[in-house]
Amino acid sequence: MQKVIRDFIPQGGKHCITNSMKQIFSYYGYLLSEEMMFGLASGLSFLYLNQSSSPMVNGRIKVFEFEKKLAARLNISIQCKSGFDYEKISQISKDMIDQNKPILIYVDMPYLSYLGLNKNSHFGGHAVVLFGYDNELERFWISDRGLSHQ
């Protein structure tokens, strides 16, 4: 089985979490800029990771903290969940896509082949949006800062 949310439009962006949030908000008809979300959620912080291929400097707050602050300041509900059971998470994601609900997920960057990162450069705080899947090929459609990949 294959399902793609046809009304979802991948959009370009500057930063993974603000761009992913912008795309989901836009899908539901709420046009907020990345800059506006960044400010509302007090997203500025500092992190330095010494990855194997090159250092990474990050300027945002922790995973889930951004979403929680943004939700509180906009007086909306955003559900943040984590887990390690791939089959369960995969099925929940497919069920949401079947209901035409794009999903923001955090992924480990070296597993995204299109980024061309060293396999030891692990960073699981990279946000992308799932908006489709193909059971036969065992793949998801994702939008990553405006780039669509399968």
**What are 139's two structure tokens?**
């793949």
Residue-wise pLDDT tens digits, 81-136: 888 898 999 999 999 999 999 999 988 877 777 777 778 777 667 889 999 999 99
- What kind and span of H or E run contains 48? strand 44-50
Domains and CATH numbers, the chain: 14-149 (3.90.70.10)
116 or 140, higher pLDDT: 140
**127: helix, coil or strand?**
strand
Tokens 């903290």, residue located? 65
The pTM assigned to this predicted structure is: 0.80
Residue-wise pLDDT tens digits, 13-49: 888 888 898 999 999 999 988 888 877 877 666 666 6
